[in-house]
Structure 1
Amino acid sequence: MSQKEDLDPGPGPSRSAVHDELLECLQTIAQVHDRAATAESLTSGLPLEQGRLTPGVFARAASRAGLTARITQSRLVQLNPALFPAVLLLEPGRACVLVALDLRSRRARVIFPELGDAETEVGLDGLQESYSGQAIYVRPRFRFDARGPEVKRQRSRHWFWGVVRENRKLYRDVIAGSVVINLFAVAMPLFVLNVYDRVVPNHATETLWVLAAGIFIVLCFDLALRLMRNAFVDLAASRADVKLSSSIMARVLGLRMEARPASTGSFASTLQSFESVRAFIGSATVVSLVDLPFVLMFAAIIALIGPPLVIPVLVGIVLVLLYAMAAQGKLHELSETTWRVGAQRNATLVESLSSLETVKTLRAESRIQGSWEKASAFLSRTSAQLRLVSSSVSSVALWAQHSVAVCVIIIGVYQIIEGNLTQGGLIAAYLLSSRAMAPISQAAALLAQYHQSSTALQSLNAVMERPVERPEGKTFIDRPVVRGDIRFDKVSLRYPEAERDALRDVTVTIEAGERVALLGRVGCGKTSLNKLLLGLYQPTAGAVLIDDVDIRQIDPVQLRRHIGYVPQDVSLFFGSLRDNILAGGGSDGVDDEAMLRAIKVSGLDGLVNSHPQGVDLPVGERGQMLSGGQRQAVAIARALVHDPRILLLDEPTSAMDHASEEAFKAGLKAFGQGKTLVIVTHRTSLLSLVDRILVIDAGKVVADGPRDKVVEALRKGQIGRAS
C-alpha cells in the first residue's frame, strides 16, 4: 500500500504546487526595468489568495521592486504604447505581458509566463477574445543615489499623512461643498428679513410665495450637498483606513526581533489605538473645521445689518477660543495618561489570558486581580477628569452661543427703538449669530477627541519607526537553491536590554550534509545560534554565512524557506491541522504528497488516520486541543513539509514518549539524507542521529569533535567551562 493510501488527508481538494502567472508577469517586467525581484521579496507578507498574487495587491508587490503600478480599464487598441510593457489580465484569472502592439498588421507581441521570457507573436483578434478589459501599467520609480543632495521637499512620505494626502481630491470636493453650504446658510436669515420688513408690512403674498419657493430650492440643494459631503468624508476615511491598517500590520509582522516591544498586551493596545485615529479622520464633525473660516463671513454680514450687533459675536468667539486654549495642556496630559494606563491594563489582561492555566496552578489570581483593580481604578479617575475637562469646553461653548444670542437681541431692541434696525434685521442677525457660533462650538467639542487621536498617532509613529527586516529600497541576493554549508565567523550576540553577551566570538563551520548536535547547560547560547541562523536577530559582531553568503544579503523569507525549524516552545494557530502544517506555504505551494510525507516522519500519522476529519481536524487556539507531544509533532511536520536543505531542531522530542521518539528518529534518518542537520538537545538518545557534537558554555564553544570522542570526554569530565 502506498504512503498516500496509509494516511487519510480528510475532506477537501488535493493541494498542488501554485502557478502564479501574475507574479511571473511582474518579475518579467521588473527584469526589463533592471530591478532585482525574487518571488519571496515581492509577495512576503502580502494577503495572497490561494497562494497567488491578485490585481488588488499587485501595486504593493510592484513597489517592493521599485516600480509603480496602476490598473486601467481600457480596450486593447486604446492602451498607451509609451507605457509598454504592460500586464494584460486575461480570462479566466490569467495574465500575460504585452510588449508591443501593431494596429496595422493586427498583431501583438506578448510574453506568456508558462513560456518563460520568450516573446510570442499573436493575432490581435485572438488576444482580444481572452482580454478581460483590464491592464496594469508598470513603470520604474527614479532612484536617487548618494550623489543626489537631499532637500526638504524630497523627504520620505509619512506613513499616515501621505495616505491621507492621496485623497486630496475628495477633500477638495468636501471643501468646495462646504463653501456652497455656508453661502446657502445666508439664505434663511435673508428670507426672514425680507418677510418681516417687506412682505408683512405690504401684505405682498405673491412675493412671499416667490421667496418661499426660492428658499425651498436652496434648502433642497443644501440637503443634497450635506449628504454628499458626509459621503465623501466617509469614502476618504475608508480608503485611508484600508491602506493604513495594511501598512501597520505589515510593519508589525516585519519587525526585527530586537525591536519587538517588551509587552505584547501593551503593544496590542497601541495598535488598537488606531481606532481613535480612524474615528477622528472619518468623523463628519471634522467638516466643522472647514466651516471655521466662514465665521468671519457671518460676522461681516451681521455688521452690515447692524454694526453694534457684531460685538457680542466677536466677544463670544474670543472667549470660547481662550478657554479652549487654556484647556489644551490639561487635555493632552490626561489623554496621554489615559492611554498609558489603558495599555498597561491591557497588558495585564493579555498576559493573564495567555497564561491562565499557570495562573490557576500557582494560585496567582489574587495578585493579578489586585493589579487589574488598581489600574482600573486609576484609569477610571483619569478618564473622569478627561471627560470633565472635555465636557467643560463644550459646555462653555454652548453657554457662549446662547449668551451671544441674548446679547444680540438686547442690543437689537435698543437699535430698533432708536430707529437704526428693523425687526427683520434683528431676527436675521439672531439667526446669523447662532450660525457663526456653531462652528466654534463644534471645533471646541473636537478638542478631547483630537488629543486622544494625537496621542494614539504619536504611539503609532513610534511603531512605524522601528527597524524592519526588509527595509524599503534594500535589494537581496536571489538564492533559490542552497547546498547547506553553514559558517559562524567570529559571531557575538547581545539581546536588547541584556547586560552580557549571549554568544561570544563563536567561529564554527558546518559542511553541507553534516549532522551536528549542540550540547550545553541551560542558557549557554545554543538556541541563540539557531535564531541567528534564521535571521531573527542580527549579530552584534561577526557574520553568519550560508554557502559563503552573509545571510543579511538574503531575503529573510527566502532564507527561512531553506531552513526547517522546530522551536523549543511550539506555537500553533487557531484552525485545522492542515492549516498549521502549511502555515508558511507562501506562494510556492505544497502538494498533498509532501504534506503526508511530513506527517509520516513526524509521527502524526496515527492521529490523522484515527480521526474522522483527517488533516482537517481542529487544533483549537494555541493548539490546546492537542497534547504536548502532538503539538511538537505538528511543529516537526511543518518544518519538514517544504523539504528544506537545513534542519534546525531545538529539543524536538522533549514532550514525546520513548516510542514516539524512536519512530521519529527512524523517519528522520531516512528523510534527512544529504541535509544539514543541527539538533539542540539534552537527551542522549538523540545523539545517535548525529556524527559531530559542539559543546557550548557561557556563549563560547568549548568542545567540537566527533560524537563518540566528545561524549567520552564529557563522561570523564575533560571538557571545562568557558572562562
Structure 2
Amino acid sequence: MTQENDNFVTEPRQETGLDELLECLVAVASIHHHDATREALIAGLPLEDGKLTPGVLGRAAARADLTARIIRSPLSQLNPALFPAIVLLEAGRACVLLNLDIKNGQAEVIFPELGEASSIVSLAGLQDAYSGQAAYVRPKFRFDARGPEVKKQRSRHWFWGVIRENRKLYRDVLIGSAVINLFAVAMPLFVMNVYDRVVPNAATETLWVLAVGIFIVLCFDLALRLMRNAFVDLAASRADVKLTSSIMSRVLGMRMEAKPASTGSFTATLQSFESVRAFIGSATIVALVDLPFVVLFAAIIALIGVPLVIPIVIGAVFVFLYALAAQSKLHELSETTWRIGAQRNATLVEAVGNLETVKALRSESRLQGMWERASAFLSRTSAQLRLVSSSVTSVALWTQHTVAVAIIIVGVYMIIEGDLTQGGLIAAYLLSSRAMAPISQAAGLMAQYHQSSTALQSLNDVMDKPTERIEGKAYINRPVVHGDVKFDSVSLSYPEAERSALNDVSFRLKPGEKVALIGRIGSGKSTLSKLLLALYQPTGGAIFLDDVDIRQFDPMQLRRHIGYVPQDIALFFGTLRENIVAGAGSEGVDDEALLEAVRLSGLESLVKSHPHGLDLPVGEGGSMLSGGQRQSVAIARALVNNPSVLLLDEPTSAMDHASEEVLKKNLTRFSQEKTMVIVTHRTSLLSLVDRIIVMDAGKVVADGPREQVVEALRKGQVGRAS
C-alpha cells in the first residue's frame, strides 16, 4: 500500500527507541524473500545504545544471506537496478528507497515507523535529510544440489581472507618499495661519481648538480617511506579490527560441548593473537618486501666489478643455511613456550577466580609451588628460545660486516690491478650493506615467525570449532510461543564423559503446566534445562517447543522465550540495572517491566534502601552482593522479558525462609499462564507445582501428580534406574 506524503519532514523526530536501520534491513530482507528475525540479525553484534550501526550492517545482513555495501553518492546518482537500497539520513535515521522519479521530483520510500507501507515523498525533502551515504543490500546467490561442482569450493580462511582484502594496499606498498630500493642506488652512484670525476677534476659545478639531484631523490625517498609505513599500518589496523572481531564472535557463538576444559589456557590462546598481530606489522612487511631487491643490488655491484659479488653470494648462502639449521629448534622451543605459558596462565586464572576458596582451604602453598615450577620452566625455555633466536640475528650481523670487509679486500686488489676505481669500491661497499640488510632482517624474523605460526595454529583450532548458528541456515520465526515442551527419547553424553548424562528421556509439558524435577545429585535434572535452552545438542532424540524441533529456532530467539535461573549464578561487572537487562536485546526493557521484575524477585527493598537505586554497583561476579541477592538478580533477569517458559534451577538455595515465601507468592501470581519447570531439592517449593518428575541416573523413574509422587516417595515405591 502506497501513501502520499509530499511534505517530507526534515526536522529530527522525537526519540522512539526504534532501531530504524535494523527495521530497514528487515524490510529489505522481506522484499528479497529472505526471512530473518530481528534477534537473529543482531545476535552477538556490537550495538550502540542497543541499536544497529552502519559499521556492522554488513555483518547483520550476512545473517539473512545478504550482502551490504555502504557507498557515498548523491541521491540522484544511486543505481535503480540495485534498489531497494537503505538510505542513511541525518540524526541516525534511515529509510528504504524503492524508487526514484527524478523527472517529477518524487521518491518512493518505506519509513520504519510506518511498517511495510511505502510512501511517496518529495525528492527535495529527502535530499535535505540525506546524509550522503546509502547501502546496497543484495541477496547472495545460492547453489543447490543440481549445480555440478566443477572443483571443490574452498571456504574463505578467517585470517588470510582478511589479509587478502587489503591486497590493493599491499600492492601500493610493493610499488613504493620498488621505487625506494631504486632510489637507494642513487647514493652509492653519487659517491662514486664524486670520487672518480669531481675530485680528480675539481669540477665543483658538477658537484652541485649531483648534490641537487641526490637531494631531490632523498626528499622523494623520505616521502615514499612515510607513505609506505602509513599504508602498511593502515592495512594492519584494518585487518586487526576485523580479525579480533571475528575471533570474539566465534568464541561467543561456540557450542558449549566445544568449549575447552581450561578457561585460563583458552584465554592464553586468544591472547596469543598479539604475536600474530606483531608479525604482520610494518617491520615484517618491509623486510619481506625488501628481500627480492637483494638481487638488484648484487647485479649493480656486478656491473661495478664481478668479483665483488662473490662475498655477497657466499654470505647470503651462509646466513640462509645457518637460519635453516636453527628452524627445528626454534619450532620446538616456540611450541614448548606457548604450552607452558598457557598452563601457567590457567593456574593464575583458576587461583584468582577461586581466591576465597584457596584461602579457606589453605591451598596457597600448592598453587604457589605450581606457579613457581611453571615459571622456572618457562624462564629456561624462553632463555633457550632467545639464545637461538639471537644467535641467528648475531650471525647474520657478523656475516654482513664480514662481507663488507671481504669486498674491501677484493676491491683493493682490483684497484691495484687497475680493474676498479676508488669510487667504485666505496659504491660497492655501500651497496653491499643494502644487499645484506634485508637478509639479516629476514633471518631475525624467523624466531618471531615460529611464535606467530604456533599462535596462528592454535587460533585456527578455535576458529574451526562448531558454532550454534549455522551459516546459511534458515531459522523459523516464532515471535510468540505457548510453552508446549516435549522431550522425545532424548539422550546426551558430555564430551569426554565416561557415561551418558541422559538416557532415552521422554515427557511432555502442556502450556501453563507447573512441574518439579527432583532426584539425586547427578541424575540429569540440570542437564534437561541446558538442553531446552539449546546450550547442548542431544546425542539422540529431539526436543520440541510448540511441536517444532528447537533446532529450527534461532538460538537467540529460542532463549528469548525462556526465562532461566541457573544453579550457579554469574553476574557481570557493572550496575544492578545492567545485570538485569543484560539479555534484553534490541527491543530493550521499559522501566515498568524492569521495576516489576525487581519487585517479583524480592530486590525491591535493596533498591529502595540503596542511594544509587538500580544503578548500585554489584562488583565483579556480583562480589558486592550476598548469595541470596545474587540469586534474586538472576530471578529478575529471568522474569524481565516476560517469557513463556520458566526454568528455575534451585532458585532459592541461598535464600532465607522469609525471602523464599515472598518469592513463592510472586511466582504463583506471575506464572499463571506460563510453563514452569523447577529443579529443586527443597520440598517447600513443591507447593508451586502440580506435577513431579523424578530423575535417576539420567532416566525418568517417576512422573505424575504431585500428591501421588510424594506419597510414592514417602513409601519407598520409587526405585532407582537400572
Query: What TM-score results when the alignment is normalised by the length of structure 2?
Result: 0.97
Distance 1:146 1:42 in 2: 27
Residue 464 of structure 2 is matched in structure 1 by 465
Distance 1:400 1:36 in 2: 65
Could you give the per-residue CA deviations for residues 434-471 of structure 1, whole angstroms, max 9, x where no partner exists? 11000000101111111111110000000000000002
Q: Are 1:647 and 2:646 matched, yes or no?
A: yes
Distance 1:427 1:282 in 2: 34
Distance 2:458 2:554 in 1: 29
Distance 2:440 2:143 in 1: 48
Is 1:17–1:591's contact at 8 Å kept on the other side of the alignment? Answer: no
SS in 2 for 1:98: strand
Could you give the per-residue CA deviations for residues 62-100 of structure 1, whole angstroms, max 9, x where no partner exists? 111111111111111111111111001112211110001
Residue 3 of structure 1 is matched in structure 2 by none
SS in 2 for 1:37: coil
Deviates more, 1:407-416 or 1:111-120: 111-120
Aligned-residue identity in percent:
76
What one-letter code is carried by the residue in structure 2 that aligns with 1:558? Q
What one-letter code is carried by the residue in structure 1 that aligns with 2:247? I
Q: Are 1:68 and 2:72 matched, yes or no?
A: no
Residue 298 of structure 2 is matched in structure 1 by 299
Residue 174 of structure 1 is matched in structure 2 by 173
Residue 12 of structure 2 is matched in structure 1 by none
Matches within 5 A, 1:592-631: 592-631=591-630
Is 1:483–1:547's contact at 8 Å kept on the other side of the alignment? Answer: yes
Is 1:20–1:52's contact at 8 Å kept on the other side of the alignment? Answer: yes
Distance 1:154 1:217 in 2: 51
Could you give the per-residue CA deviations for residues 372-399 of structure 1, whole angstroms, max 9, x where no partner exists? 1111111001100100000000001001
Is 1:18–1:51's contact at 8 Å kept on the other side of the alignment? Answer: no
Alpha carbons of structure 1 residues 614 and 539: separation in structure 2 relative to 1, 3 Å: same
Q: Are 1:483 and 2:490 matched, yes or no?
A: no
Following superposition, the deviation at residue 143 of structure 1 comes to 1.4
Following superposition, the deviation at residue 588 of structure 1 comes to 1.5
Matches within 5 A, 1:567-606: 567-606=566-605
Distance 2:147 2:155 in 1: 14
Distance 1:116 1:596 in 2: 30
Gaps of 5+ in 2: 1-14
Distance 2:556 2:17 in 1: 17
Is 1:574–1:621's contact at 8 Å kept on the other side of the alignment? Answer: yes
Deviates more, 1:649-658 or 1:226-235: 226-235
Is 1:193–1:425's contact at 8 Å kept on the other side of the alignment? Answer: yes
Distance 1:114 1:593 in 2: 23
Could you give the per-residue CA deviations for residues 183-206 of structure 1, whole angstroms, max 9, x where no partner exists? 000000100110000000000000
SS in 2 for 1:565: strand
Following superposition, the deviation at residue 276 of structure 1 comes to 0.6
Q: Are 1:310 and 2:309 matched, yes or no?
A: yes
SS in 2 for 1:401: helix
Q: Are 1:329 and 2:358 matched, yes or no?
A: no
Distance 1:203 1:620 in 2: 80
Distance 1:380 1:407 in 2: 39
Q: Are 1:402 and 2:406 matched, yes or no?
A: no
Following superposition, the deviation at residue 120 of structure 1 comes to 1.1
Matches within 5 A, 1:262-281: 262-281=261-280
SS in 2 for 1:682: coil
Deviates more, 1:140-149 or 1:163-172: 140-149
Distance 1:713 1:228 in 2: 82
SS in 1 for 2:486: strand
Distance 2:169 2:17 in 1: 40
SS in 2 for 1:154: coil
Distance 1:31 1:268 in 2: 40
Residue 549 of structure 1 is matched in structure 2 by 548
Could you give the per-residue CA deviations for residues 302-321 of structure 1, whole angstroms, max 9, x where no partner exists? 11101111000100011001
SS in 1 for 2:91: coil
Following superposition, the deviation at residue 151 of structure 1 comes to 4.9
SS in 1 for 2:708: helix
Equivalent residue pairs, number: 708
Q: Are 1:659 and 2:658 matched, yes or no?
A: yes
Residue 701 of structure 2 is matched in structure 1 by 702
Distance 1:417 1:657 in 2: 102
What one-letter code is carried by the residue in structure 2 that aligns with 1:642? N
Matches within 5 A, 1:278-293: 278-293=277-292
Distance 1:278 1:146 in 2: 40
Distance 1:709 1:184 in 2: 93
Residue 359 of structure 1 is matched in structure 2 by 358
SS in 2 for 1:92: helix
Compute the RMSD of aligned alpha carbons.
Answer: 1.0
Residue 217 of structure 2 is matched in structure 1 by 218
Gaps of 5+ in 1: 1-15
Could you give the per-residue CA deviations for residues 398-431 of structure 1, whole angstroms, max 9, x where no partner exists? 0100000000000000000000000000000001
Distance 1:121 1:59 in 2: 28
Residue 205 of structure 2 is matched in structure 1 by 206
SS in 2 for 1:293: helix
Is 1:89–1:131's contact at 8 Å kept on the other side of the alignment? Answer: yes
Residue 494 of structure 1 is matched in structure 2 by 493
Following superposition, the deviation at residue 118 of structure 1 comes to 1.4
What one-letter code is carried by the residue in structure 1 that aligns with 2:356? E
SS in 1 for 2:334: helix
Could you give the per-residue CA deviations for residues 280-303 of structure 1, whole angstroms, max 9, x where no partner exists? 112334211111111011111111
Distance 1:239 1:303 in 2: 42
Matches within 5 A, 1:128-527: 128-152=127-151, 154-527=153-526
Is 1:17–1:590's contact at 8 Å kept on the other side of the alignment? Answer: no
Query: What TM-score results when the alignment is normalised by the length of structure 1?
Result: 0.97
Is 1:502–1:524's contact at 8 Å kept on the other side of the alignment? Answer: yes
Distance 1:365 1:149 in 2: 64
Alpha carbons of structure 1 residues 283 and 321: separation in structure 2 relative to 1, 3 Å: same
Is 1:18–1:587's contact at 8 Å kept on the other side of the alignment? Answer: no
SS in 1 for 2:499: coil
Could you give the per-residue CA deviations for residues 325-377 of structure 1, whole angstroms, max 9, x where no partner exists? 11111111111110010000000000000000000111111111111111111
SS in 1 for 2:487: strand
Q: Are 1:43 and 2:42 matched, yes or no?
A: yes
Following superposition, the deviation at residue 698 of structure 1 comes to 0.5
Is 1:390–1:445's contact at 8 Å kept on the other side of the alignment? Answer: yes
Distance 2:705 2:114 in 1: 49
Distance 2:58 2:621 in 1: 34
SS in 2 for 1:516: strand
Alpha carbons of structure 1 residues 539 and 518: separation in structure 2 relative to 1, 3 Å: same
Q: Are 1:26 and 2:13 matched, yes or no?
A: no
SS in 1 for 2:504: strand
SS in 1 for 2:506: strand
What one-letter code is carried by the residue in structure 2 that aligns with 1:453? S
Could you give the per-residue CA deviations for residues 238-290 of structure 1, whole angstroms, max 9, x where no partner exists? 00000000000000000000000000000000000001111111233421111
Following superposition, the deviation at residue 633 of structure 1 comes to 0.3
Following superposition, the deviation at residue 148 of structure 1 comes to 3.0
Following superposition, the deviation at residue 147 of structure 1 comes to 2.8
